[in-house]
Chains A and B, each alone.
Chain A
Amino acid sequence: MLADYLQGLQLFLDPAVLLLIAAAVPVGLLLGVLPGMSGLTALALLLPFVFGMDPMAGLAFLLAAHAVVYTGGALTTILLGIPGAPPNAATLADGYAMSRTGQTGRALGAAFASSGLGGCVGVVALAGLLPFLQPIVLTIGSPETFFLALMGIVYIAVLGQGNLTKGLIAGGLGIFLAMIGEQRITAVPRFWLGFDYLLDGIKIVPLVLGLFAIPEILDLARGRTLAHQANAERPRWAEIRQGMVDVLRHKLLFLRSSVIGVVVGIIPGIGGDTAPFLAYASAKQTSARPERFGSGIVEGVIAPESSNNAKEGGALVTTLGLGIPGSAGMSVLIGGFLILGLEPGPDFLAEHMDIAVGLAIVLAVANLLAVIVMLLLSQFLVRIVEVPGTILAPVLLSLVVLGAYGYQNDPMDVVFVFVFAVLGCVMRALDYSRPALLLGFVLAPLLETYLHISLRAYGLDFLFRPGALFIAALIVAGLLWPLIRQRRNGGAQR
């Protein structure tokens, strides 16, 4: 066992591997900073480069680029109010609000620190869980996946920015949008209007770009300058450091959010995009001051950003141990394994534990390296906000169009960015929660699919599986928590 760890370290310390990590991290960060480019894009773009590489080097290269995308994405989200990648949308509410109230440095510091440390929690989970992989994965079946999705749906109301009805309407709209296209189980096409593009359903990248990016760009084009609100000063180190200290101050929140990320990452069905929303909602639900979420508080940045990076460690657990991808990005990574002549799965762990350990180290180092790079760069990058909006807007618009097109080389995706932009503008003007819509959109297919599978496979007994009961208890506890706290506080005052 110890020998494996030492060999893993040795593999990692190969100069070629180190060099490739150093090359991959900036690429991943850049793709994160650019709206519309996600971790998936990073892997797909880099995959052709690994042909002929040494296995460890090739995998380190792919993994390092993929792992740091959301760290880069936080920058765009906080500075411009445009999610760098879909999961960053959860950071938007508080991160952007902080930036507009002159706390840019603090928000960035908190985002980078929680991203980097969250990534490390993911690595610790990965290293710790690999030996116990089988029992864990065997406990989490379709019923448990269904209940986790249910937990997410329950949180939609929490994301509703104070207005319960509006939150539910937005979530409902998201659920409706998710229903468009071929139903995953029966392949019956719904609401497709005889239009090929819709047969495949609404895709998340055009949806996020349209909902979040275009409304901000329109504001900029109308002459608003970001620096105007963000009290033009460049964030000083002290401010950034304060943000980083904030993460340590909110230790419990940070840990809980990271664990949510790891758990969501491990479950193959859920898909990582859900993690930051769950973490954000659970932070708000259990907070002593839930009403302040969305107004620009640092907890609203720490929760989603730590879970964002932690989930990659979780996803790698199932990917390495069973050969079953925990997220869309991981399935591309498995493609990379095969190209390099390796096949992840139980055999892989038995034969190549050293590579698994090496990859865990790569994940940790890439995460920390990304934080350092972003901290150094943020001093310069924040000057973006001083650029007049009328100049920034067309540049960003081009990037958004490029990102939407580059997603799947489909021009219709670009058209739909603008369709959703209309929706985004209306929702923003009328104060409906766009994250709630996104959460409904991401979770609806999971609920539908896993309820179907659970009922078919177990009948109504699925409700009484221990894992399912446990998660159901968590949901009830989450809902009752504010009441309990209120009563306790009331008691204390008396």
Chain B
Amino acid sequence: MFRLPAVLLGALVALSGFMSDAAAETAAEFYKGKVVKLVVGYGAGGGYDTYARLLAPHLEAQLGATVIVENRPGGGGNLALNRLMTAKADGLTLMLINGRASTVSQLVGTEGVRFDLTRLTVLGRVTSEPRVIVFSAASPYRSLADAQATAEVIKWGAAGRTDSLASVAAMASTALDLNSEIIMGYKGSKEAGLAAIRGEVDALVLSESSAAKYAKGGMVIPIAVFGRERSEILPDLPTVFEVASFGDNAAWWVDYTEQLTKIGRIFVSTPDVPEDRTGFLRQAVQAVLEDPQIVSDMAAQRRPIRAETAEVVEQYISGSLAALDEVTLARVRSVVLEEYFPD
């Protein structure tokens, strides 16, 4: 009499096992032989393009699909993201995006933004680089204390209002209570870096690798990492917490900026991708980004990988966007958009 339920149970277990197998198989099978578009919101030859092209063959191997990199420059990557929002939710369109810039654009409501990062399907982070404050060797400042003590206006270089150069400079100025002005119009961190070398601007916020590169020539002086953790590339450089003291309010700006930084360069897909395909894509992305061979190859090409899972990245994104109350949001908007741009 007890045998029948046992058999039934056994059958059920087998069936459920089979079903989950079948589900995994359908996602894998779905991708087999398909063409996956990997969109880059910038032109060919840039950092995002290179990452995408270097990783595409590895994704191909994991997905069993053909991965084609497509450049769709425009609006600092925002136009391509707008299009991703309305693309078919079949999991065949991926995009490598600039997490911080997109988050800031959405946060301050840049005109022409029609995407919502919290609705996108996040697949995983490729890398993120700590931000380093550097001063021009031609400027009179050699430490944060110098900059805080001066009566002069400290000039920062940037491209546009919501890029990393400007938004971190604005938040750093708020946290450190600096008398700053952000000069925009440079074509990117390279041209702004040149301006710092010439002494046209006093200060700049760079990625740790750019800061290390310019520092080697003695052309700019790295001052501090803007965050709580030291940089791997510049291990001797202190963090702002080590060289300056902060009240709770000021520390919030550093932590908030660091959280934005940690979103980093991420793989995303359209909203509402079927769950099994999301799982499969995340698995594939993770497998690529955690492969030691790929990690060391990429490091050799100066394209380091610092992977993070989709779940953690989603927390960073919602922590940067949804978690802000209205008063804080208004304050962030004012800092990013207005306070350091005398117009």
Contacts of A386 in B (CB 8 A): none
Contacts of B193 in A (CB 8 A): 324
With A336-B45, A338-B50 already in contact, the answer to whether A457 and B216 are too (CB < 8 A) is no
Residues 33-73 of chain B, each 1 if its beta carbon lies under 8 Å from chain A, else 0: 00000000001111001100110000000000000001111
Contacts of B161 in A (CB 8 A): 186-187
Q: Is the CB of A186 within 8 A of B74?
A: no
The reply to whether the CB of A456 lies closer than 8 angstroms to some CB of chain B is yes
Interface 9-mer from B6-14, B241-249, B299-307, B321-329: B299-307
The reply to whether the CB of B197 lies closer than 8 angstroms to some CB of chain A is yes
| B303 closest partner in A (C-beta) | A338
Contacts of A200 in B (CB 8 A): 73-75, 79
Q: Is the CB of B75 within 8 A of A347?
A: no
The reply to whether the CB of A269 lies closer than 8 angstroms to some CB of chain B is yes
Which of B44, B111, B185 makes the CB contact (< 8 A) with A453? B185
Q: Is the CB of A457 within 8 A of B50?
A: no
Q: Is the CB of A138 within 8 A of B197?
A: yes
Q: Is the CB of A346 within 8 A of B200?
A: no
The reply to whether the CB of B117 lies closer than 8 angstroms to some CB of chain A is no
Q: Is the CB of B82 within 8 A of A339?
A: no
Interface 9-mer from A40-48, A241-249, A419-427, A431-439: A40-48
Contacts of B111 in A (CB 8 A): 187-189
Contacts of B183 in A (CB 8 A): 453, 456-457
The reply to whether the CB of A334 lies closer than 8 angstroms to some CB of chain B is yes
Interface residues of A in 107-122 (CB under 8 A from B): none
Q: Is the CB of A47 within 8 A of B195?
A: no
Contacts of B73 in A (CB 8 A): 200, 408
Q: Is the CB of B185 within 8 A of A408?
A: no
Q: Is the CB of B185 within 8 A of A450?
A: yes
Q: Is the CB of A142 within 8 A of B187?
A: no
Q: Is the CB of B185 within 8 A of A335?
A: no
Which of A51, A339, A347, A457 makes the CB contact (< 8 A) with B200? A457
| A201 closest partner in B (C-beta) | B74
Which of A189, A341, A347, A458 makes the CB contact (< 8 A) with B112? A189
Interface residues of A in 88-138 (CB under 8 A from B): 137-138
Q: How far is the CB of B196 from chain A (nearest CB, A)?
A: 11
Q: Is the CB of A346 within 8 A of B71?
A: no
The reply to whether the CB of A4 lies closer than 8 angstroms to some CB of chain B is no
The reply to whether the CB of B106 lies closer than 8 angstroms to some CB of chain A is no
With A187-B162, A268-B194, A335-B46 already in contact, the answer to whether A323 and B185 are too (CB < 8 A) is no
Q: Is the CB of A268 within 8 A of B191?
A: yes
Q: Is the CB of A456 within 8 A of B181?
A: yes
| B160 closest partner in A (C-beta) | A187
Residues 71-88 of chain B, each 1 if its beta carbon lies under 8 Å from chain A, else 0: 111110001001000000
Which of B195, B198, B216 makes the CB contact (< 8 A) with A346? B216
The reply to whether the CB of A169 lies closer than 8 angstroms to some CB of chain B is no
**How far apart are the CA atoms of A409 and B110 in the complex, in Å?**
25
> Number of B residues contacting the other chain (C-beta, 8 Å)?
48
The reply to whether the CB of B292 lies closer than 8 angstroms to some CB of chain A is no
| B161 closest partner in A (C-beta) | A187
The reply to whether the CB of A141 lies closer than 8 angstroms to some CB of chain B is yes
| B343 closest partner in A (C-beta) | A186
The reply to whether the CB of B186 lies closer than 8 angstroms to some CB of chain A is yes
The reply to whether the CB of A180 lies closer than 8 angstroms to some CB of chain B is no
Contacts of B110 in A (CB 8 A): 187
Contacts of B191 in A (CB 8 A): 268-269, 324
Q: Is the CB of A456 within 8 A of B155?
A: yes
Contacts of A51 in B (CB 8 A): 53-54
Contacts of A324 in B (CB 8 A): 190-191, 193-194
The reply to whether the CB of B5 lies closer than 8 angstroms to some CB of chain A is no
Contacts of A43 in B (CB 8 A): 44-45
With A345-B213, A347-B216, A409-B72 already in contact, the answer to whether A44 and B190 are too (CB < 8 A) is no
Contacts of A453 in B (CB 8 A): 183, 185-186, 195, 200
**How far apart are the CA atoms of A142 and B200 in the complex, in Å?**
8
Contacts of A346 in B (CB 8 A): 216-217, 219
Contacts of A334 in B (CB 8 A): 45
Which of B44, B112, B184, B302 makes the CB contact (< 8 A) with A338? B302
**How far apart are the CA atoms of A268 and B186 in the complex, in Å?**
10
With A200-B74, A269-B191, A409-B72 already in contact, the answer to whether A345 and B217 are too (CB < 8 A) is yes
The reply to whether the CB of A343 lies closer than 8 angstroms to some CB of chain B is yes
Q: How far is the CB of A55 from chain B (nearest CB, A)?
A: 11
| B105 closest partner in A (C-beta) | A187
The reply to whether the CB of B96 lies closer than 8 angstroms to some CB of chain A is no
Q: Is the CB of B75 within 8 A of A182?
A: yes
Q: How far is the CB of A412 from chain B (nearest CB, A)?
A: 10
The reply to whether the CB of B263 lies closer than 8 angstroms to some CB of chain A is no
The reply to whether the CB of A150 lies closer than 8 angstroms to some CB of chain B is no
Taking each of B112, B159, B343, which has the highest tally of chain A beta carbons within 10 Å of its own beta carbon?
A: B112
Interface residues of A in 320-352 (CB under 8 A from B): 322-325, 328, 331-336, 338-341, 343, 345-347
| A48 closest partner in B (C-beta) | B53
Contacts of A408 in B (CB 8 A): 43, 71-74
Contacts of A458 in B (CB 8 A): 200
The reply to whether the CB of A485 lies closer than 8 angstroms to some CB of chain B is no
Q: How far is the CB of A403 from chain B (nearest CB, A)?
A: 16
The reply to whether the CB of A390 lies closer than 8 angstroms to some CB of chain B is no
**How far apart are the CA atoms of A47 and B111 in the complex, in Å?**
33
**How far apart are the CA atoms of A409 and B71 in the complex, in Å?**
8
Which of A142, A192, A325, A345 makes the CB contact (< 8 A) with B195? A142
The reply to whether the CB of B224 lies closer than 8 angstroms to some CB of chain A is no
Q: Is the CB of A335 within 8 A of B45?
A: yes
Q: How far is the CB of A308 from chain B (nearest CB, A)?
A: 21
The reply to whether the CB of A410 lies closer than 8 angstroms to some CB of chain B is yes
The reply to whether the CB of B134 lies closer than 8 angstroms to some CB of chain A is no
The reply to whether the CB of B201 lies closer than 8 angstroms to some CB of chain A is yes
Q: A322-B194, A335-B50, A409-B70 are in contact. List 20 more A-B contacts (CB 8 A).
A: A48-B53, A137-B198, A141-B200, A184-B184, A186-B343, A187-B111, A196-B74, A199-B75, A269-B191, A332-B43, A333-B45, A335-B46, A343-B302, A345-B213, A408-B43, A408-B72, A449-B185, A453-B185, A453-B195, A456-B155
Q: Report 16 cross-chain contacts, Cβ distance below 8 Å, ordered by A residue.
A: A47-B53, A141-B195, A184-B184, A185-B184, A196-B74, A196-B112, A199-B79, A268-B187, A332-B45, A335-B45, A335-B49, A339-B50, A339-B301, A408-B71, A409-B71, A410-B74
Interface residues of A (CB under 8 A from B): 43-44, 47-48, 51, 137-138, 141-142, 182, 184-189, 192, 196, 199-200, 268-269, 322-325, 328, 331-336, 338-341, 343, 345-347, 408-410, 449-450, 452-453, 456-458
* Interface pairs A-B: 8 shortest CB-CB: A332-B45, A335-B45, A44-B44, A346-B217, A200-B74, A449-B185, A185-B185, A456-B183
